[in-house]
């Protein structure tokens, strides 16, 4: 049994390790403090008991190793050498490695559990191959998962194995070239833009909405009237408003580059009623609550669109309705090149501009003008 003794006035902790082949080793450790030795005695007794009957787990091994009871050779002899680490062990380490929001953590854990349900949890990480990744993809497709969701599963699988490379468990990632597939056109997000009249109706309906504690109208005006992203809305402060110039300076943007947007008369008036000397303009909502409130309100108005689609609408209207030049629109939206601006700008076929060409005009019309 694990017990305490004394050598030259110093406390010594003695214990026995029993290996799977039924061989054993007696070990002892000296400590400067009897208090420390006594506190580690239960753990040493646990080691002795569990190794005797082979009832230990990877977690037990890690605890004993951190307590100084095991060396590298002992870990190998107990059957938990790094090369024998299982997929379940890799998944647990991956779960403790991420630093993301609670919602994303929940989604990742669900995806990891799905991967473990497809592959054998006790499969050694070293035995994983590219074929295992293809098998995961085929099983997810059989379950009618969307391609975008399959891509996220593949990404998590790659991250899980990359962590094992960082831990020197394996030397390369067999899933490095694995791809979830190309998203078909029917599954791609369809960007929706509203007309000026539709936006006026949506904003008018939001005046008495209890969503977001009465701040919904401001959110709609910032989204449709300024093209702000969700993160930019929450990061904007009262100090960023130039009341004389009627402009809003955005300092915390996606690109990291500050930009200015104009404040329309209605938004300017609504903000003026709530004016403060400092602090954030919006209450610090949990980000996804803005998107949820936006979707709920739009659905009540008979429309279905995402909060980010309001930014697409702003980009289209500022050029087509307001007549801003592309370079002016880029300064307000924060796009770095024309290609991104064109992705956000959605034209509608309402006017036949081709009729404005001289060579397209009717002969009778030309003669009448003469």
* Start-end of CATH 1.10.150.130 domains in the chain: 87-187
CATH class of 196-344: mainly alpha
Q: What is the DSSP string of 266-289?
A: HHHHHHHHT--SSSBSS----HHH
CA separation for the pair 125, 309 (Å, rounded): 43
Of 336 and 42, more confident:
42
CA separation for the pair 47, 229 (Å, rounded): 55
CA separation for the pair 370, 360 (Å, rounded): 16
Q: pLDDT class for 354, splitting at 50, 70, 90?
A: very low
- Report which secondary-structure segment, H or E, holds 226: helix 216-226
In the chain, what percentage of residues exceed pLDDT 90? Answer: 38
User: What does the block give as tokens for 320?
Assistant: 């087509």
Distances (CA, A) of 124 to 74, 84, 89, 155, 188: 19, 5, 9, 20, 37
- The pTM (predicted TM-score) of the whole model is 0.54
Angle at 102 between CA 96 and CA 108, to 5 degrees: 60
The pLDDT of residue 291 is: 92
Bridge partner list, 28 = 14
Tens digits of residue pLDDT in 273-294: 999 989 999 999 988 899 999 9
Mean pLDDT over the full length of the chain: 84
**Least confident window among 110-119, 128-137, 149-158, 361-370:** 361-370
Q: Say how many C-beta atoms besides its own lie within 10 A of residue 123's C-beta.
A: 15
* Start-end of CATH 1.10.443.10 domains in the chain: 196-344
242 closest CA partner among 252, 251, 231, 253? 251
Provide the sign of the torsion angle of the four alpha carbons 135, 139, 144, 148, taken in this order: negative
Tens digits of residue pLDDT in 115-125: 999 998 878 88
The pLDDT of residue 370 is: 47
pLDDT, mean of residues 7-19: 88
Tens digits of residue pLDDT in 106-117: 999 999 999 999
The 3-state DSSP class for residue 337 equals coil
Bridge partner list, 30 = 12
Which residues have a Cβ under 8 Å from the Cβ of 190 and sit 6 or more positions away?
none
Tens digits of residue pLDDT in 176-226: 999 988 877 766 667 788 888 898 999 999 988 899 998 999 999 999 988
The pLDDT of residue 366 is: 45
287 closest CA partner among 214, 226, 227, 212? 212
**CATH fold label, 87-187:** DNA polymerase; domain 1 (1.10.150)
Distances (CA, A) of 356 to 67, 164, 322, 353: 83, 65, 20, 6
Say if residues 148 and 183 touch (Cβ distance below 8 Å): yes
Tens digits of residue pLDDT in 60-92: 887 888 888 988 788 878 877 665 678 988 898
Count Cβ neighbours within 10 Å for each residue of 5-18 and write b for 16 or more, e otherwise: eeeeeebebbbbbb
Tens digits of residue pLDDT in 238-256: 999 999 999 999 988 888 8
């Amino acid at each position: 049994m694990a017990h305490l003794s004394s050598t030259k006035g110093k406390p010594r902790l003695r214990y026995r390790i029993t290996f799977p082949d039924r061989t054993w080793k007696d070990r002892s450790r000296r400590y400067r403090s009897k208090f420390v030795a006594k506190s580690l005695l239960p753990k040493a007794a646990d080691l002795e008991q569990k190794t005797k009957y082979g009832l230990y787990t990877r977690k037990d091994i890690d605890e004993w190793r951190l307590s100084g009871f095991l060396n590298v050779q002992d870990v190998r002899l107990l059957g938990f050498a790094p090369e024998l680490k299982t997929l379940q062990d890799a998944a647990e380490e991956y779960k403790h490695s991420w630093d993301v929001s609670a919602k994303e953590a929940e989604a990742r854990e669900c995806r990891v559990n799905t991967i473990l349900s497809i592959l054998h949890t006790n499969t050694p990480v070293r035995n994983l191959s590219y074929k295992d990744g293809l098998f995961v993809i085929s099983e997810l497709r059989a379950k009618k998962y969307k391609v975008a969701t399959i891509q996220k599963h593949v990404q998590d699988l790659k991250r899980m194995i990359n962590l094992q490379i960082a831990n020197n468990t394996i030397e390369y990632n067999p899933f490095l070239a694995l791809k979830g597939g190309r998203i078909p056109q029917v599954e791609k997000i369809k960007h929706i833009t509203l007309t000026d009249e539709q936006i006026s109706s949506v904003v008018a309906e939001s005046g008495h909405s209890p969503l977001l504690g009465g701040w919904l109208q401001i959110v709609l005006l910032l989204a449709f009237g300024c093209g702000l992203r969700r993160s930019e809305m929450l990061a904007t402060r009262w100090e960023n408003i130039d009341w004389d110039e009627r402009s809003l300076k955005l300092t915390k943007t996606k690109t990291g580059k500050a930009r200015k947007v104009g404040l329309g008369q209605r938004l300017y008036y609504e903000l003026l009623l709530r004016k403060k000397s400092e602090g954030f303009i919006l209450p610090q909502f949990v980000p996804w609550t803005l998107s949820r409130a936006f979707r709920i309100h739009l659905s009540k108005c008979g429309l279905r669109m995402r909060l980010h689609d309001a930014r697409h609408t702003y980009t289209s209207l500022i050029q087509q309705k307001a007549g801003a030049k592309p370079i002016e629109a880029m300064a307000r939206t924060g796009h770095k090149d024309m290609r991104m601006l064109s992705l956000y700008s959605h034209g509608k076929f309402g006017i036949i501009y081709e009729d404005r060409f001289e060579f397209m005009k009717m002969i009778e019309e030309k003669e009448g003008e003469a």
